[in-house]
Amino acid sequence: MHKVLVIGTGPAGLTAAIYLARANLSPIVIEGLEPGGQLTTTTEVENFPGFPEGIMGPELMDNMRKQAERFGAEFRNGWVEQVDFSKRPFQVTLEGGQVLESETVILSTGASAKYLGIPGEQENVGRGVSTCATCDGFFFRGKKLLVVGGGDSAMEEANFLTRFATEVTIVHRREELRASKIMQDRAKANEKIRWALNRTPLEVVTEEGGKVKGLKVRNNAGGQEELLEADGVFVAIGHTPNTKFLGGAVATDEHGYIVVKPGTTETNVPGVFACGDVQDTRYRQAITAAGSGCMAAMDCEKFLEGSMVHDWSGPTGS
């Protein structure tokens, strides 16, 4: 039986692994289908402290992994198919059927941005297509941008991007927006924001050298295709937390994000902790994920030494 299993190897899981390994807890870390997490899908990261010139996402994650390995964290390939937190020790079943038993578990499986699923989109992520204005807005100073989506996050991303861009056009497939009135009003009052409503995105179009040129859309009113020219396309249609494999073993909110006790990483199950984007509906940054990974490791240490009082007053799992 293990003392602690960490599920996921993004900034949250790897930071937890570094702290746990340095506390002599010999963590077992399960990599999942995306070893290194979301940052392995991007190019330059300019806002992770400690790298004044920026650092490539995959290199940052490789460094974190090496740091965890240096102190004795043990990595396992594969992904978790199901968990049983109803009895102790906890059981975690990997794809292929291997069952791992552990006294504690740290859940750091992230949240995946939703994409449009159109041609030209995936191959240009980090090269003109983005799902994170906070991360990538700065790269588009003086440029023209498109934001796809009609909810609060699309309005928020568009407003934020007007700090850098000369013009931001919000593209939405319906005439009506889902966003709250206050967020719509704020976007409508912003003179840098334009609107391309009732347009269905069809393809991210690039120039010969690969640079993003714009978005091909269908105008739903007349049915004709149009090219909305821009230097970058921000897709803001939401995120899906990676919690399906939990099967209700810990409490989640109505969108599937794990609920933690405020200011901690404790879930409703004593000994199970959650950190990073899988429990964060608000910040979703590498540094906040790493910070909460540190918290999860320290919470876990406290639990294992028997000095944690579990006074849960939030929702319970299904």
Ligand X SMILES: Cc1cc2nc3c(=O)[nH]c(=O)nc-3n(C[C@H](O)[C@H](O)[C@H](O)COP(=O)(O)OP(=O)(O)OC[C@H]3O[C@@H](n4cnc5c(N)ncnc54)[C@H](O)[C@@H]3O)c2cc1C
User: Shortest gap between Cβ of 306 and ligand X (angstroms)?
Assistant: 28
Q: Residue 73 is encoded by which pair of tokens?
A: 């964290």
**By CB under 6 A, is residue 128 in contact with ligand X?**
no
Beta strand segments in the chain, E: 2-7, 28-30, 44-45, 55-56, 74-76, 80-84, 90-94, 99-107, 111-113, 129-130, 144-148, 167-172, 193-197, 199-206, 212-219, 225-229, 232-235, 239-241, 272-274
Q: Does residue 169 contact residue 228 with C-beta atoms inside 8 Å?
A: yes
Q: Which residues pair with 102 in a beta bridge?
A: 2, 90
User: Shortest gap between Cβ of 236 and ligand X (angstroms)?
Assistant: 12
Strands lying side by side in the sheet with 129-130: 129-130, 232-235, 144-148, 167-172, 193-197
Binding part of the chain for ligand X, among 149-157, 264-272, 280-288, 296-304 by CB under 6 A, reads: 280-288
**By CB under 6 A, is residue 241 in contact with ligand X?**
no
User: Pairing relation of β-strands 129-130 and 232-235?
Assistant: parallel
Distance CA 285, CA 282 (A): 9
Total binding residues toward ligand X, as defined by CB under 6 A: 41
Distance CA 190, CA 108 (A): 37
One-character DSSP codes across 31-43: --SSTT-GGGG-S
275 is catalytic: no
**By CB under 6 A, is residue 121 in contact with ligand X?**
no
Name the packing angle between helices 181-188 and 152-161 (round to 10°): 30
> Alpha-carbon torsion 159, 163, 169, 172, what sign?
negative
Task: Pick out residues in 134-173 that bind ligand X (CB under 6 A).
Answer: 135
**By CB under 6 A, is residue 102 in contact with ligand X?**
no
User: Shortest gap between Cβ of 290 and ligand X (angstroms)?
Assistant: 8
Binding part of the chain for ligand X, among 150-158, 167-175, 222-230, 286-294 by CB under 6 A, reads: 286-294
Which residue of 27, 32, 201, 214 would you call a contact of ligand X, by CB under 6 A? 32
Which residue of 108, 124, 169, 268 would you call a contact of ligand X, by CB under 6 A? 108
**By CB under 6 A, is residue 13 in contact with ligand X?**
yes
User: Shortest gap between Cβ of 174 and ligand X (angstroms)?
Assistant: 26
**By CB under 6 A, is residue 11 in contact with ligand X?**
yes
Residues in the chain: 318
Binding part of the chain for ligand X, among 42-50, 197-205, 261-269, 294-302 by CB under 6 A, reads: 42-50
User: Shortest gap between Cβ of 305 and ligand X (angstroms)?
Assistant: 25
**By CB under 6 A, is residue 113 in contact with ligand X?**
yes
Please report, to the nearest 10 degrees, the dihedral formed by the alpha carbons of residues 51, 52, 56, 57 taken in order: 50
Contact string 248-277 vs ligand X (x = CB under 6 A)? ----------------------------xx
Q: Does residue 267 contact residue 250 with C-beta atoms inside 8 Å?
A: yes
**By CB under 6 A, is residue 110 in contact with ligand X?**
yes
Catalytic residue among 136, 231, 277, 280: 136
CB nearer to ligand X: pick between 75 and 312:
75
**By CB under 6 A, is residue 242 in contact with ligand X?**
yes
185 is catalytic: no
User: Shortest gap between Cβ of 209 and ligand X (angstroms)?
Assistant: 21
What angle is formed at CA 179 by the lines to CA 173 and CA 180, rounded to 5 degrees?
155
Catalytic residue among 84, 132, 253, 294: 132
Residues with active-site annotation: 132, 135-136
Binding site for ligand X (CB under 6 A): 7-13, 30-35, 37-39, 41-42, 45, 47, 79-80, 108-110, 113, 125-126, 131-132, 135, 242, 245, 276-278, 284-287, 289
